[in-house]
Structure 1
Amino acid sequence: MTVDRRKFITGTAAFGAAGAALAKPALAQAAPEVRWRLTSSFPNTLDTIFGGAEVMAKAISEMTGGRFTIDVFPAGELVPGLQALDAVQDGTVEAAHTACYYYVGKDPTFAIGATIPFGLNARQQNAWLYHGGGNELFDTFLADYNVKALPGGNTGVQMGGWFRKEINSVADLRGLKMRIAGLAGRVLEPLGVVPQQLAGGDIYPALERGTIDATEWIGPYDDEKLGFYQVAPFYYYPAFWEGGLTVHFLFNKERYEALPAEYKVALDTAAKAANVNMLALYDVKNMSAIRSLVGKGVQLRPLPRDILDASYDSAMKLYNDLAGSNPKWKAVYEPWKQFRSQSYEWFRVAEYSYDTYGYTQQAAGK
């Protein structure tokens, strides 16, 4: 067969031009330029938890060729940290990075999406949110606030906090003024604790002045940076109220719905990346931080068993009372409770058995 060289070259060139056009991502051809502002509930000095928003924003920009950008602002620069939800709700900003249990004053149901006392660990929390119906239940609840949510980080199991004086029993909690977030304050109140709600940057001065007697924050890495060990030497574990805190990205629902479908996918993917990254970072950074704190003379203590038992009973009573009085709580809590029960059954079989054996062998020096 004979080929006309000129026709072949012309045809090839035409195909090459068409191929180049097809090779350009459809997103780059049609997507609008979008620029959002995100307010964080965390100071930028806490690089791991604040950094979750930066991880997400960087991924979004790179996935969209710079056409969808999100400017991240630390707590207090645009709005106070504990007003992040309000700023998203009323459209002051398009997005926030926050812990939803900060807003239990509006409705205790906010806490279930983040964490509640004696709740799920990080893996169980992710399982419930992503594949156990949690995201859907939480979004249904948040619709009344004009907000859409995506998980955007997890701290893992937190520490039980810093105390100016040693505590040995429930009796030592009476009259204790403690900065504590979420529903944990309501759980501890019947035990005599006087709960305080303070943003991260306000905790150290209050502890130093004696305005509060104790505080919890997250864990060794962040706590060391905040300097709590300098004024409260007793460090207790674990935080039964935060077995796996999910930090959320909140989006103004109208602005979110106006996004192109491709941008929504990118947002979801970037949020998942931030979620995984934060937990991994804390797991690495806390290893060395706990050793550093003990080396500085910190007194590491387990929470007394009678405090755990009394707190567990208080928590279960609170949840049952809320289920009887708050239909929104009940709509999220009842499915969550069933998931927790079944998840605990499974984790006891493999995870708990494996972890317990390995940890005891390591502790024995083997």
Structure 2
Amino acid sequence: MKILVIGAGPAGLNCAYWASKEGHQVELYEMRKKLAYKPCGEAIFSEGFDFVPIKPTESKWALNYIDRAVIYYNGEELFETDTKPYYGWIVNKTLFLEDLMQQAINEGAKVFLNQKLEKIEEEKYDLIVDAAGYISTFARRKGLDYSNYKLAPALRGYGKTNKIREDTLYIDFFGSGYVWIFPYGKGYVNYGVGGHSASKSFYFERMQRFLKKFEIEPLGKIEGAAFPANGPLRQLRIGKVVVAGDSAGMVMPSSGEGIRFALFAGKNCFKENYEEIFWTKYGERLIVGKKILSFWLKLSDKEIIKTVKTLKPLTLIEAFIEGKKPSIWEGLKLISEPSIIQKALTSVYI
């Protein structure tokens, strides 16, 4: 097949690599000169590296191995935990994507940066992959249903401190969002805030409050972006157009993680049974993540603290990161809290 890929993010570049490796002719166009334009936490769980030809232990882009987390709520530490088996890496996303791009080029893909496609000669291609991110309009102009596609705001910056550990994620939840501080190597940090309501000034204030706790010195400007927050599109193909990554809403709503799912989609989006492959592996889990987010947003501050302190850390990690419903037996620990049980039943289980 002759394949056109729009966008040089994780999904687009991984598609370019695997499709080229399997003998397809691939042209990839990216409107920007620099890769990794979208600000994010730059965290990739270990499973994500199963989908790419490049590995963290053999790279210059892997900055920190992560297997611990400290969880806060409104600035109060609730617990610290080992995250295994859900460990991963903080990466320099720009270098990661540059490495992946070179691998695609080595396999024969033609990559064009700083070139915006004003008009696509669709008849030239057997398949068009829309992987242009949350700003994409191509697939929706072709008729794909985006009526349930929703975005949430995020801010991201970099800083420096000697008050955090290099193997640990620091996350401060509040009612409608969360602040993150991720180690970025040699005393540097990637920090940010994302959420589902309230104003930009409110998020900025919550972020600054958490940064102050760790004496973080901001470096450079804070950048803003958005991320899909309502689960994946039900339909991933229309005619000879498919969508992958943020273009398809492939972000875990309960955590904001997206790179792993984009890489998986990129590896499979040129295959005939792409939709079945994605929904079998991740689609339903992302829908559960949406339900878990809905449950979380209904809780009061008191109910959130009670839930977090009652359930096992691994249960919470699997719920927020993997979209896994807590077992009924685990939920029974909250039997003395009928309001929480009712909200969980109506949001997640029914």
TM range (shorter): under 0.3
Larger Rg: 1
TM-score (norm 1): 0.23
TM-score, with structure 2 as normaliser = 0.24
Q: Which has the higher strand share?
A: 2
